[in-house]
A and B are shown apart, each in its own frame.
Chain A
Amino acid sequence: QKEVEQNSGPLSVPEGAIASLNCTYSDRVSQSFFWYRQYSGKSPELIMSIYSNGDKEDGRFTAQLNKASQYVSLLIRDSQPSDSATYLCAVYSNFGNEKLTFGTGTRLTIIP
């Protein structure tokens, strides 16, 4: 089982709709969770971090964390063509392995 799993996609969403990106992780002691956006040919850009259960909103982005289910998601409201990118989920464990573990990413395409 991979440590951080994401559906590779591609996920196609009409412009203006809500895009929902999901991520599950295997290390129960993980404490910090991140979403990165990576445009083709560019490096990953941090767009959201979440540390406690529940929702965290930042503009059109909402991160949701459920530690009991070991699940973290990213919702993008009012999707725009500029949101088309690969979204990487990353998980950090404070115990022993002090580095981020990345999922392989979900490729999102917003259809105008």
Chain B
Amino acid sequence: GAGVSQSPSNKVTEKGKDVELRCDPISGHTALYWYRQSLGQGLEFLIYFQGNSAPDKSGLPSDRFSAERTGGSVSTLTIQRTQQEDSAVYLCASSAGYEQYFGPGTRLTVT
């Protein structure tokens, strides 16, 4: 079946602009996660959605970051007033249990 999809695959934006990153999880997966991975670094947890429960936002690095998940499916991660330190690969993962499956990621470059 189809895996996790993310769009766009690459995004170049100017400092100060807002960006939206999209994630389509595997059909039927109730949990959705966003991570960030800077060049040569490990995975940094950002936010977690589980069904209709309130999201776990404990990993969001600042109030410029927000995420929504509509209808328990598609999720959008929004970064407002982007900064150069926001440049990274943003990864989405979904799961039906404990095993998480990752999408291909969105490479964000802030110039």
Contacts and interface: CB of A to CB of B under 8 A. Distances in A.
Interface stretch (B14-22, B39-47, B67-75, B80-88): B39-47
Most buried by B among A42, A90, A98, A99: A99
A105 to B, nearest CB: 6
Contacts of A103: 42
A43 B99 CA distance: 15
B105 A99 contact: no
B111 interface: no
B8 to A, nearest CB: 15
Interface string B98-110: 1111111100000
Contacts of B41: 104
Given A99-B33, A99-B56, A88 B101 contact: no
Interface residues of A, number: 20
Contacts of B100: 34, 46, 90, 100
A105 B48 CA distance: 22
B98 A105 contact: no
Contacts of A43: 89, 91, 102-105
B42 A34 contact: no
A88 B43 contact: yes
8 tightest Cβ-Cβ pairs between the two chains A and B = A104-B42, A43-B102, A32-B98, A102-B43, A43-B105, A44-B102, A92-B98, A43-B104
